[in-house]
Amino acid sequence: MTESSPIATLSPRRHGANIGQPLTRRDGILKVTGQARYAADNHPPDMLHAVLAVSSIARGRVTFLDVRAAKAHPGVVEVMTPANRPKLAMDPDEKANPFMFRMEVLQNDTVRYSGQPVAVVIAETLEAATEGAALLAPRYETEPARVGLDDNDIFITPAVGAGTPSEVRHGDVEAGLAVAEHRIDATYETPAQYHNAMEPHAIVAAWDGDSLSIDMPSQALAWAQQRIAGLFGIAPENIHIRSPFLGGGFGSKGVMSGPQILGILAARLVGRPVKLVLRRDQMYGPVGHRAPTRQTFRIGADREGRLTAIHHHVRTATSTFDDFFEPSGQVTRTLYASPAIATTADAVRLDTGTPIFMRAPGEASGSIALESAIDEMAHAAGIDPLEFRLRNYAEIEPVSGKPFSSKALRECYAQGAARFGWHGRPLAPRQMRDENGLLVGWGLGTATFPAIMFEGHARAVLRRDGTGLVETGAHEMGQGAWTALAQIAADSLGIDLDQLEFRSGTSDLPDAGIAGGSAHTATAGIAIHGAGAATIAKLAELAMNDNRSPLFGAGNAGVLARRGRLIRCDDESRSESYADILARAGLPEIEGSGRGACDPAATGAYAMHAHGAVFAEVKVDPELGQIRTTRLIGAFAAGTIINPRLVRSQYYGGMIWGLSFALHERAVMDPRSGRVMNANLAEYHVPVNADVPSIEAILVEEFDPYVNELGIKGVGEIGITGTAGAIANAVWHATGVRVRRFPIAIEHLIGSEAAL
């Protein structure tokens, strides 16, 4: 809505009937009854199945594939190798921006990591394709694999994450350390982790001349459309992607991956629709992961426990052929007040698939180390960990010097501590036991995540019958987007939710941006809000310029849109239904469009983050070293809450992932072969129901007038950033053993110098 609009803009505190309501998921019945159609559920007529043959070595070249044996298998139609792969319009190793990744699509016989596709077998049945792939029996010329953080030359990263500086300095760190009364120097290590969404990467591709129809899970439909268009040399509008549902993504489905392009190439090669679905073990390589890190902290504090300096150095890894560096240091630049802060990074190149964005990229790995280091410093200073954090509370963003657009972290600390009972915590470790003799520990972690917005678009329509339509190419990957965005849409049009038709999930709709960075509700939601406002503005103009309308001449006063009627702001007895306005104008419907994007003026002036505090209780068997998390309470402030039910669900998911980060999750690499040894859900441990404790999320009220028009911040990733550190700190408080290598395992406790 522009400033000249005659419509009164609703304050974010004065929403319609839907925003703020804990509505159940609009897609819930479809999912629990099996009616929700995911990519691999599609079976177009005459479809073939494709299966990848993947490398069992990490470095070298393929010297032989028994293509003749594979093609001789009954049901096998074709075998695609570098020798017969259809040509692409551009080199798949070209990279135009940080959100584009180089990929392996049978360019040549070089092997860059274990699990890399080396051929594709296409057959009438999945079984025939699988058996044909086994018959290829690849042979290799092998070179030694480089898989550890010390296994290759170290270099300074040109940038980290999506292009942010790899080195940032504020103040004199060395001087701050020199005058410190208390100092710590500690190194923390986090392992490689893999996304492991329940739904594997999949594609069903069908060509019709130069037009391409695709079913695949995607967190960024427009990005996928553009990437495919570039690779195949066709117009983006000739590519129709359907992605109504994703069974999780966590960042891995935000960019196009090699296996999906191979599915499209296979369909072009055989001239029939092709389905390609990755096996679980094939998701450990070509579709990204979180890189391992080694993080060193040097921290100083004065006699009163106020920080004098922080230096956070990160070593991480990327592949030998692409550049993505886990930005673990960025959380240190925003969280605690210190006159001197430095974050630096270096890296090694390894024979692995390229790391990419994984839920809370940088913040997850960085915060578990930072929160552990802050706890260590609090102990060195003899101060309660919560009190230490309050003494070093950042009223402005420490490095940038910007004020926060809003920050209710003090309230998060207070409400979380009160609910948890933190005041009864003894300062020294190993002071509490339960009735069974188990050691009990309490830990705290501060949660933070930036409030990000991408650019998104939406279209809204009001019909003469009083119903509305909103269209945007949004992504429903389990976070409740269909529900939250529909709530915004209904309120933007001033209609009841059951009067709204909401369309999303296909590439022919307005680009809703990417569902990542906890930005989707803000990005698509503000676009929808704008589209609804533009539609209502057009409708109001019709009424206020029509002398037959009770709203005639209301331009100065403005009108409100409620329950399918326009109402004068200065006289609510004067109103008119949408149906009457459109009927008198002879229009079947009226429409408007909206755009959601961050305001450069606001982002230049303010630091924008969501905040929280997580309190954890663990119990540890003093003889076996077995750890159980028994309580988690998180208090979070994230601006306007569109749907409390969905937000709590997101917080729970993040907190469970934080538990996984602290105690369960890691990829185990074979240093000889470069293979992930636990590439399955049996041995790649993530929490199950028995591991999930009593868990509670407190929604702390916060109003942010600057972050966007509705005051929305993201909630999907912040829960990880406080929880992992809280659990690590609780384990120390229970045992007195400070573990700096994650996930924390039994051997770290019973095999350490300070063994239980």
Residue 207 sits at φ, ψ, to 5 deg, of -100, 145
Task: Evaluate whether 687 touches 661 at the Cβ level (below 8 Å).
Answer: no
Question: Out of 199, 576, 709, 717, which one is annotated catalytic?
Answer: 717
Name the token pair of 40: 């691999």
Neighbours of 615 (CB within 10 A): 28
Alpha-carbon distances of 736 from 65, 289, 613, 755, rounded to whole Å: 56, 32, 22, 9
> In sequence order, which ranges of 392-442 are alpha helices (DSSP H)?
409-420
Name the token pair of 541: 């103009």
Element (H, E) at 221: helix 221-232
Task: Evaluate whether 50 touches 263 at the Cβ level (below 8 Å).
Answer: yes
Task: Evaluate whether 720 touches 654 at the Cβ level (below 8 Å).
Answer: yes
Cα–Cα dist 527/472, whole Å:
9
| Residue 570 buriedness (CB in 10 A; 0-12 / 13-18 / 19+) | exposed
Cα–Cα dist 386/200, whole Å:
41
- 82: helix, strand or coil: coil
Task: Evaluate whether 280 touches 251 at the Cβ level (below 8 Å).
Answer: no
Neighbours of 756 (CB within 10 A): 19
Neighbours of 337 (CB within 10 A): 15
- 717 is annotated as an active-site residue: yes
Three-state SS sequence of 584-641 = HHCCCEEEEEEEECCCHHHHHHCECEEEEEEEEEEEECCCCCCEEEEEEEEEEECECC
Give catalytic residues, as residue numbers: 717
